[in-house]
Protein backbone atom coordinates (compact mmCIF):
# COMPACT_ATOMS: atom_id res chain seq x y z
CA UNK A 1 0.00 0.00 0.00
CA UNK A 2 1.44 3.32 -1.08
CA UNK A 3 1.48 6.07 1.57
CA UNK A 4 -0.42 9.29 1.04
CA UNK A 5 2.76 11.36 1.30
CA UNK A 6 4.14 9.51 -1.74
CA UNK A 7 0.86 9.72 -3.67
CA UNK A 8 0.98 13.48 -3.12
CA UNK A 9 4.65 13.74 -4.12
CA UNK A 10 4.09 11.66 -7.26
CA UNK A 11 0.92 13.58 -8.16
CA UNK A 12 2.87 16.79 -7.76
CA UNK A 13 5.49 15.40 -10.10
CA UNK A 14 2.80 14.61 -12.71
CA UNK A 15 1.92 18.30 -12.55
CA UNK A 16 5.58 19.31 -12.85
CA UNK A 17 6.06 17.12 -15.93
CA UNK A 18 2.99 18.63 -17.59
CA UNK A 19 4.23 22.09 -16.64
CA UNK A 20 7.59 21.19 -18.23
CA UNK A 21 5.75 20.23 -21.41
CA UNK A 22 3.85 23.51 -21.33
CA UNK A 23 7.06 25.49 -20.77
CA UNK A 24 8.80 23.74 -23.66
CA UNK A 25 5.79 24.32 -25.92
CA UNK A 26 5.93 28.00 -25.01
CA UNK A 27 9.64 28.04 -25.86
CA UNK A 28 8.93 26.13 -29.07
CA UNK A 29 6.42 28.78 -30.14
CA UNK A 30 8.97 31.51 -29.44
CA UNK A 31 11.64 29.72 -31.53
CA UNK A 32 9.17 29.01 -34.34
CA UNK A 33 8.14 32.63 -34.58
CA UNK A 34 11.77 33.78 -34.42
CA UNK A 35 12.47 31.62 -37.49
CA UNK A 36 14.42 28.87 -35.73
CA UNK A 37 12.37 25.93 -36.96
CA UNK A 38 14.94 23.33 -35.88
CA UNK A 39 15.08 24.65 -32.31
CA UNK A 40 11.26 24.80 -32.33
CA UNK A 41 11.08 21.17 -33.45
CA UNK A 42 13.60 20.06 -30.81
CA UNK A 43 11.56 21.79 -28.11
CA UNK A 44 8.35 20.27 -29.42
CA UNK A 45 9.89 16.79 -29.10
CA UNK A 46 11.12 17.76 -25.62
CA UNK A 47 7.53 18.67 -24.71
CA UNK A 48 6.30 15.29 -25.99
CA UNK A 49 8.84 13.54 -23.76
CA UNK A 50 7.65 15.49 -20.74
CA UNK A 51 4.06 14.47 -21.46
CA UNK A 52 5.23 10.85 -21.63
CA UNK A 53 6.89 11.28 -18.21
CA UNK A 54 3.76 12.84 -16.70
CA UNK A 55 1.54 10.09 -18.05
CA UNK A 56 3.93 7.38 -16.85
CA UNK A 57 3.93 8.83 -13.31
CA UNK A 58 0.13 9.10 -13.39
CA UNK A 59 -0.11 5.45 -14.46
CA UNK A 60 2.17 4.37 -11.63
CA UNK A 61 -0.08 5.99 -9.01
CA UNK A 62 -3.10 4.11 -10.41
CA UNK A 63 -1.08 0.89 -10.65
CA UNK A 64 -0.33 1.21 -6.94
CA UNK A 65 -4.04 1.34 -6.18
CA UNK A 66 -4.18 5.05 -5.33
CA UNK A 67 -5.95 8.09 -6.78
CA UNK A 68 -3.75 10.74 -8.39
CA UNK A 69 -4.57 14.31 -7.38
CA UNK A 70 -4.83 17.15 -9.86
CA UNK A 71 -4.13 20.86 -9.60
CA UNK A 72 -3.58 23.95 -11.70
CA UNK A 73 -0.72 23.98 -14.17
CA UNK A 74 1.38 27.12 -13.79
CA UNK A 75 1.52 29.60 -16.68
CA UNK A 76 4.91 29.30 -18.37
CA UNK A 77 7.06 32.24 -19.36
CA UNK A 78 6.24 33.25 -22.93
CA UNK A 79 8.81 35.85 -23.92
CA UNK A 80 12.49 35.14 -24.18
CA UNK A 81 15.54 37.22 -25.05
CA UNK A 82 17.36 34.89 -27.42
CA UNK A 83 18.06 31.26 -28.31
CA UNK A 84 20.80 31.27 -25.68
CA UNK A 85 18.27 32.51 -23.14
CA UNK A 86 16.07 29.47 -23.96
CA UNK A 87 18.85 26.97 -23.28
CA UNK A 88 19.93 28.75 -20.10
CA UNK A 89 16.34 28.56 -18.85
CA UNK A 90 15.98 24.89 -19.87
CA UNK A 91 19.10 24.09 -17.84
CA UNK A 92 17.83 26.01 -14.80
CA UNK A 93 14.44 24.29 -15.09
CA UNK A 94 15.89 20.78 -15.43
CA UNK A 95 18.09 21.37 -12.37
CA UNK A 96 14.95 22.19 -10.38
CA UNK A 97 13.24 19.06 -11.70
CA UNK A 98 16.25 17.00 -10.60
CA UNK A 99 15.94 18.39 -7.06
CA UNK A 100 12.25 17.42 -7.00
CA UNK A 101 13.00 13.88 -8.21
CA UNK A 102 15.69 13.53 -5.55
CA UNK A 103 13.24 14.66 -2.87
CA UNK A 104 10.79 11.95 -4.00
CA UNK A 105 13.59 9.37 -3.92
CA UNK A 106 14.57 10.45 -0.39
CA UNK A 107 10.93 10.29 0.74
CA UNK A 108 10.55 6.80 -0.76
CA UNK A 109 13.66 5.73 1.16
CA UNK A 110 12.52 7.22 4.44
CA UNK A 111 9.09 5.60 4.03
CA UNK A 112 10.78 2.34 3.00
CA UNK A 113 8.68 2.28 -0.13
CA UNK A 114 10.95 0.14 -2.29
CA UNK A 115 8.52 0.02 -5.23
CA UNK A 116 8.40 3.81 -5.50
CA UNK A 117 12.16 4.02 -5.06
CA UNK A 118 12.70 1.52 -7.90
CA UNK A 119 10.20 3.40 -10.05
CA UNK A 120 11.69 6.84 -9.42
CA UNK A 121 15.24 5.57 -10.04
CA UNK A 122 14.54 5.72 -13.77
CA UNK A 123 13.93 9.45 -13.37
CA UNK A 124 17.13 9.93 -11.37
CA UNK A 125 19.06 8.58 -14.36
CA UNK A 126 16.91 10.46 -16.86
CA UNK A 127 17.68 13.75 -15.11
CA UNK A 128 21.43 13.13 -15.44
CA UNK A 129 20.88 12.98 -19.21
CA UNK A 130 18.50 15.93 -19.24
CA UNK A 131 21.00 18.14 -17.42
CA UNK A 132 23.94 16.99 -19.54
CA UNK A 133 22.00 17.71 -22.72
CA UNK A 134 20.85 21.14 -21.50
CA UNK A 135 24.37 22.02 -20.33
CA UNK A 136 25.81 21.10 -23.71
CA UNK A 137 23.24 23.18 -25.60
CA UNK A 138 23.58 26.17 -23.25
CA UNK A 139 27.38 26.07 -23.63
CA UNK A 140 27.06 25.75 -27.40
CA UNK A 141 24.64 28.69 -27.58
CA UNK A 142 27.05 30.75 -25.44
CA UNK A 143 29.93 30.04 -27.85
CA UNK A 144 27.78 30.83 -30.89
CA UNK A 145 26.59 34.21 -29.61
CA UNK A 146 25.02 36.14 -32.48
CA UNK A 147 26.97 34.45 -35.27
CA UNK A 148 24.23 33.80 -37.88
CA UNK A 149 26.08 30.96 -39.64
CA UNK A 150 26.70 29.04 -36.43
CA UNK A 151 23.13 29.66 -35.25
CA UNK A 152 21.92 28.25 -38.56
CA UNK A 153 24.09 25.15 -38.05
CA UNK A 154 22.69 24.62 -34.56
CA UNK A 155 19.15 25.07 -35.83
CA UNK A 156 19.74 22.51 -38.60
CA UNK A 157 21.27 20.00 -36.18
CA UNK A 158 18.33 20.26 -33.78
CA UNK A 159 15.82 19.72 -36.62
CA UNK A 160 16.93 16.08 -36.83
CA UNK A 161 15.59 15.01 -33.44
CA UNK A 162 12.89 12.34 -33.45
CA UNK A 163 10.48 11.44 -30.68
CA UNK A 164 10.67 7.95 -29.28
CA UNK A 165 8.35 7.00 -26.48
CA UNK A 166 10.65 6.21 -23.55
CA UNK A 167 8.08 3.73 -22.23
CA UNK A 168 7.11 2.02 -25.49
CA UNK A 169 6.05 -1.53 -24.84
CA UNK A 170 5.17 -0.97 -21.19
CA UNK A 171 1.47 -0.46 -21.99
CA UNK A 172 -0.46 2.49 -20.67
First to last CA, the chain: 21
> Binding residue for Fe ion (CB under 5 A) from 27, 47, 53, 151?
53
Residue 128 vs 143, nearer CB to Fe ion: 128
Total residues at interface with Fe ion (CB under 5 A): 4
- Residue 57 CA to residue 111 CA, distance in Å, equals 18
- Contact between 130 and Fe ion by CB under 5 A: the answer reads yes
- Residue 17 CA to residue 156 CA, distance in Å, equals 27
Stretch that binds Fe ion, among 10-18, 21-29, 58-66, 70-78 (CB under 5 A): 10-18
Least separation in angstroms between CB 130 and Fe ion? 4
- Contact between 91 and Fe ion by CB under 5 A: the answer reads no
For residue 80, the tally of other CB atoms under 10 A from its CB is: 16
- Residue 65 CA to residue 141 CA, distance in Å, equals 45
Least separation in angstroms between CB 93 and Fe ion? 8
Closest to 122 (Cα-Cα) out of 68, 57, 169: 57
- Residue with CB nearest Fe ion? 53
Binding site for Fe ion (CB under 5 A): 17, 50, 53, 130
Amino acid sequence: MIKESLVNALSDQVNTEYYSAYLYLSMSAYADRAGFKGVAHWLFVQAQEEIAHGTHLYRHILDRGAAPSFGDIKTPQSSFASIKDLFDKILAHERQVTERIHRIASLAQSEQDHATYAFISWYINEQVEEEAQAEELAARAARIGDNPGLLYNLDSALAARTFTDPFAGEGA
